[in-house]
Structure 1
Amino acid sequence: MPAQSSQHALRPARPPSTALTAVLALTGATATGPALADIHVTGIEQRSQAVRPGDLFTALPGAQAHGARFAAAAVERGAVAVFTDASGAELAGELNVPVLVRENPRAVLGELSAAIYGNPCERLRIVGITGTSGKTTTSYLVEAGLAAAGLSTALIGTIETRIGGRRVPSALTTPEAPQLHAMFALMVEQGVDAVVMEVSSHALALGRVDGVRFAVGAFTNLSQDHLDFHADFEDYFAAKRRLFEPESPVAARTSVICIDDEWGQRLADGLDAPITVCTTGAGDWQLAGPIVAHGGEQEFTAAGPDGNVAVRLRLPGRYNVANGLLAVAVCAAAGVDAAVAAPALATVDVPGRMQRVERGQDFLAIVDYAHKPAALESVIATLRGHLAADAPESPGRLAVVVGAGGDRDAGKRPLMGEVAARGADLLIITDDNPRSEDPAQIRAALRSGALDVSEAERGVVREIGDRAEAIAAAVNWARTGDVILVAGKGHEAGQEIQGVKHPFDDRDVLAAALDKRSPHHADAEDLTVS
């Protein structure tokens, strides 16, 4: 995919050269094939199509195929050696380059990647942010705070990788270790001081961040997600915990933990002197006084160890107060004066996170990435609060357009349907990224959860598979003072169906529907369950 190939291009212009004999010693591998003497590597790559001359090709076992099947292609592109396991060496067959063999090569991939690129993270102030929700928003807020102190910053996350003025769409929340350390080397080369990165549970469980030296690790919250990958909730939590536990090879030097939920409290209780953040009670960083919301923005006072600072956000919602308070605490933990960092948070808009689409309409149209039950529930509650605040006597109505991704945690689908039906006046169930699954079955799971809510407690439920039609239906339903929420895809610019990613951006589709909106549209009362 283009985003992935672009990420693979993020490499230093002047990479260091590492003797293959040093690679052999570092990995504890055994070598077969041509002699290693006088061979040096200048990069490391596990995708054959991204190999450059001088690379070490890492042929790892994968879910679909073993990377060794592509070793010959990698050598043709200039790989000077192959690093694999015994089965990979057998699959690769005869090659005209040395083959380094060891059991479980992935176990040393992070440290190996760091070494090949000269251990660049040792010259960077790296902030890692993990949790179920809020990673992206908190990352953008932290980056703004660090930049306000005069630091040259970079960002790695779900939406994009940004180094200086260069923006590259992201294929993974956290890149694989070879790409990650190549990015760090490029950042050092370009004079970056500090990096803010999202750290997914997949990255922690699969070793993608091995070899990274985190100055600060931050935890947002934990709720149901990725249980298609993790065995259960405890396994999910254990993966997140790797960023903080002292015995973990990727443990951050300083931990900043939001303890608003039981998982954050449990994490903090198991650590030695973490910095705690709390919006519901006492913490090292907490709220001082009320939250003042107006016009979709909000203000609050953050009380920290060295005093109070005023914070203003362009983002509505109590959960964004938690993100903002955490961001201030993280900036302080990274060595930036909170009084310098806090004002910068007011400048931040996060793509696809409570993002408004304005086309002159007399109601609010929002695109948000919420694709988990807890996140969807929080966004709906926030928008309900907005409606009540704007017109206490006769609040407007809320329409929610949402689906669920295929080939992902199926258990969350009915839960998403339930929270959406309970919170919306009109729920339109539609397709998200069905991937390889039957989209009708995904919609049925959401629908079952929605219809489990009693008729008295739920809004109108409709099902429209075509996402563009679903968005248009919501737009044509809305009237003055209402709110439309298009949830689940946020910043994404494509819709994946049976292995093909079709161009689709909720923000563009919503804008087009608003432009075409008929002045004669149905009221919610005219809609029936279908």
Structure 2
Amino acid sequence: MRLTELMANASVVSTKLPADPDISGLSCDSRAVKPGFLFAALKGSRVDGTNFIDDALSRGATALLMGTAGLVGPDARNVTVPVLAEPNPRRSYAHLAAQFYPGQPPSIAAVTGTNGKSSVVSFLRQIWNLNGRSAASLGTLGLESASESVPLSLTTPDPAVIHGELARLSAAGIDSLAIEASSHGLDQYRIDGVNVTVAGFTNISRDHLDYHGTLEKYLSAKVRLFDEVMEAPGVAVLNRDSSCYSQLIAVCRERHHRVIGYGSVVKEDTRNFESISLIDVTPMPFGLHLTIGYGGQSEGVDVSLVGQFQAENLLCAIGLAMADGIPFHAAVESVSHIVGVRGRMELVGQSWSGASVYVDYAHTPEALENALGALRFHFGG
């Protein structure tokens, strides 16, 4: 694909290029560059990609992407390949990747929040599969579908990786994809160019402040999913019990998104948004009995998941499935067949005394509190 062809629909504004080379690939890691690649020299919080331009060129890069400062001094004289100097090179890189790897599953749901993302995308994938869809999920646990499980290095991978996988999944007949949208990934524009039509929000608590600096900036990164990434009008599935629900509602109203609220409190949203409510949750030795309400209907269902917080994750997945056309009854009935996620309140065995042994990935204070409270909810003592 010619560079100008790649740029045509990728929000790239650079002009007066000295050449129009064929582009055979894209990467922001100079070590992965091969002959004919475009190298994105991106500045990070710890590493400046412009320091690796010489390495990329020595490996055969035929075009460069960087910020508007471009190349100056001796560096400029030594570079003869086209240089795309963009005001937002990370966003441009994502859109270039989307153009280079055309083809995406027609239905893509993205999920953000501090805790619960991995569970929600897994549950949604299973609901889709149980209702006749060919579905996959992408996130912390890797790329998973009925036919494969492929590990990935990041919750939200590099744009070239994401769009390469989306094109491959589309060609393989996957029609529905659930993807985790981490705060890092959103802040760094990694999923820009992904045709998200449904988006979910789980919860917010203190996390990744070493990167974002403040809770406000952390939340702002998450809000990008609804404010900038998801196509308008889309469908937002929001945790009604979250402290930032009103802020998210305001963003979604501005963008004309349809909103489905969910939560553990039984109430109808006074702003005329749809509501999914957890009417009752009863612990069983190795699962939960849930009563779920929506639009004057209520359904009871047994699930083989431990922890009341998993009920909230299920409600989010049900809301996302409904947003994508699965009827309420069918979505709720499907969760009776859902299996838990690896490393998320996962029963791995019993001790010599008969005590159950669980593994959980809890890595924030709130997640650890939820994990311990989940076990007490079921077993007491």
* TM-score in terms of structure 1 length: 0.64
Rg (Cα) greater in structure = 1
* CA distance 1:104–1:291, shift in 2 (3 Å): closer
Query: Which amino acid in structure 2 is aligned with residue 222 of structure 1?
Result: I
Question: Matched residues in 1 for 2:26 and 2:163: separation?
Answer: 9
Within the candidate set 267, 282, 286, 1:282 is matched to 267
1:315-352 per-residue CA deviation (whole Å, 9 max, x = no partner) reads: 22221111111211111111122333333333312111
State whether residues 197 and 230 of structure 2, in contact with CA within 8 Å, keep that contact through their aligned partners in structure 1. Answer: no
Question: Matched residues in 2 for 1:370 and 1:297: separation?
Answer: 19
Question: Matched residues in 1 for 2:250 and 2:206: separation?
Answer: 21
State whether residues 44 and 178 of structure 1, in contact with CA within 8 Å, keep that contact through their aligned partners in structure 2. Answer: yes
* CA distance 1:360–1:108, shift in 2 (3 Å): same
1:279-325 per-residue CA deviation (whole Å, 9 max, x = no partner) reads: 1222411124x322212200212222373333332222221111111
Question: Matched residues in 1 for 2:80 and 2:88: separation?
Answer: 23
CA drift of 1:67 comes to 1.9
- The DSSP-based 3-state class of the residue aligned with 1:365 is strand
State whether residues 48 and 73 of structure 1, in contact with CA within 8 Å, keep that contact through their aligned partners in structure 2. Answer: yes
Map 1:215-234 to 2 at 5 A.
215-234=197-216
State whether residues 91 and 190 of structure 2, in contact with CA within 8 Å, keep that contact through their aligned partners in structure 1. Answer: no
Question: Matched residues in 1 for 2:161 and 2:77: separation?
Answer: 27
* CA distance 1:51–1:307, shift in 2 (3 Å): farther
Give 2:245's aligned residue. 264
Give 2:116's aligned residue. 134
Query: Which amino acid in structure 2 is aligned with residue 292 of structure 1?
Result: T
CA drift of 1:378 comes to 1.4
CA drift of 1:74 comes to 3.0
- The DSSP-based 3-state class of the residue aligned with 2:372 is helix
Question: Matched residues in 2 for 1:164 and 1:78: separation?
Answer: 38
CA drift of 1:130 comes to 0.7
Question: Matched residues in 2 for 1:265 and 1:280: separation?
Answer: 16
Query: Which amino acid in structure 2 is aligned with residue 275 of structure 1?
Result: I
Question: Matched residues in 2 for 1:169 and 1:333: separation?
Answer: 28
- The DSSP-based 3-state class of the residue aligned with 2:97 is helix
* CA distance 1:269–1:63, shift in 2 (3 Å): closer
* CA distance 1:42–1:151, shift in 2 (3 Å): farther
* CA distance 1:251–1:204, shift in 2 (3 Å): farther
Work out whether 1:363 is the aligned partner of 2:355.
yes
* CA distance 1:75–1:327, shift in 2 (3 Å): same
Query: Which amino acid in structure 1 is aligned with residue 294 of structure 2?
Result: G
Map 1:49-88 to 2 at 5 A.
49-85=31-67
Map 1:251-400 to 2 at 5 A.
251=231, 253-268=234-249, 270-272=251-253, 273-283=258-268, 284-288=275-279, 290-305=280-295, 307-345=297-335, 346-359=337-350, 361=352, 362-388=354-380, 395=381
* CA distance 1:279–1:76, shift in 2 (3 Å): same
1:140-181 per-residue CA deviation (whole Å, 9 max, x = no partner) reads: 111100111211112111121225523222221111222211
1:8-42 per-residue CA deviation (whole Å, 9 max, x = no partner) reads: xxxxxxxxx3x212345551124665x22xx2224
Query: Which amino acid in structure 2 is aligned with residue 274 of structure 1?
Result: V
Give 2:193's aligned residue. 211
CA drift of 1:194 comes to 0.7
Give 2:272's aligned residue. none
CA drift of 1:72 comes to 3.7
Query: Which amino acid in structure 2 is aligned with residue 206 of structure 1?
Result: Q
Work out whether 1:41 is the aligned partner of 2:26.
no
* TM-score in terms of structure 2 length: 0.87
RMSD: 2.4
Query: Which amino acid in structure 1 is aligned with residue 242 of structure 2?
Result: D
- The DSSP-based 3-state class of the residue aligned with 1:218 is strand
State whether residues 66 and 88 of structure 1, in contact with CA within 8 Å, keep that contact through their aligned partners in structure 2. Answer: no
Within the candidate set 90, 93, 110, 1:109 is matched to 93
State whether residues 283 and 377 of structure 2, in contact with CA within 8 Å, keep that contact through their aligned partners in structure 1. Answer: no
* CA distance 1:98–1:261, shift in 2 (3 Å): closer
CA drift of 1:269 comes to 5.2
Question: Matched residues in 2 for 1:340 and 1:42: separation?
Answer: 45
Structure 1: state its 5+ residue gaps.
1-16, 389-394, 396-530
State whether residues 132 and 222 of structure 1, in contact with CA within 8 Å, keep that contact through their aligned partners in structure 2. Answer: yes
Give 1:458's aligned residue. none
Query: Which amino acid in structure 2 is aligned with residue 377 of structure 1?
Result: E
Query: Which amino acid in structure 1 is aligned with residue 265 of structure 2?
Result: T
Structure 2: state its 5+ residue gaps.
269-274
Work out whether 1:21 is the aligned partner of 2:13.
no
Give 1:201's aligned residue. 183
* CA distance 1:251–1:240, shift in 2 (3 Å): farther
* CA distance 1:325–1:103, shift in 2 (3 Å): closer
Percent identity, aligned pairs only, is 32
Question: Matched residues in 2 for 1:227 and 1:318: separation?
Answer: 27
State whether residues 142 and 328 of structure 1, in contact with CA within 8 Å, keep that contact through their aligned partners in structure 2. Answer: yes
* CA distance 1:297–1:24, shift in 2 (3 Å): closer
Structure 1 window deviating more from structure 2 (87-96 vs 256-265): it is 87-96
* CA distance 1:302–1:93, shift in 2 (3 Å): farther
Query: Which amino acid in structure 1 is aligned with residue 285 of structure 2?
Result: G
Query: Which amino acid in structure 2 is aligned with residue 153 of structure 1?
Result: A
State whether residues 159 and 169 of structure 1, in contact with CA within 8 Å, keep that contact through their aligned partners in structure 2. Answer: yes
Query: Which amino acid in structure 1 is aligned with residue 160 of structure 2?
Result: P
- The DSSP-based 3-state class of the residue aligned with 1:257 is strand
Question: Matched residues in 2 for 1:71 and 1:104: separation?
Answer: 18
- The DSSP-based 3-state class of the residue aligned with 2:184 is helix
CA drift of 1:249 comes to 4.3
Query: Which amino acid in structure 1 is aligned with residue 55 of structure 2?
Result: A
Query: Which amino acid in structure 2 is aligned with residue 166 of structure 1?
Result: E
Question: Matched residues in 2 for 1:242 and 1:275: separation?
Answer: 18
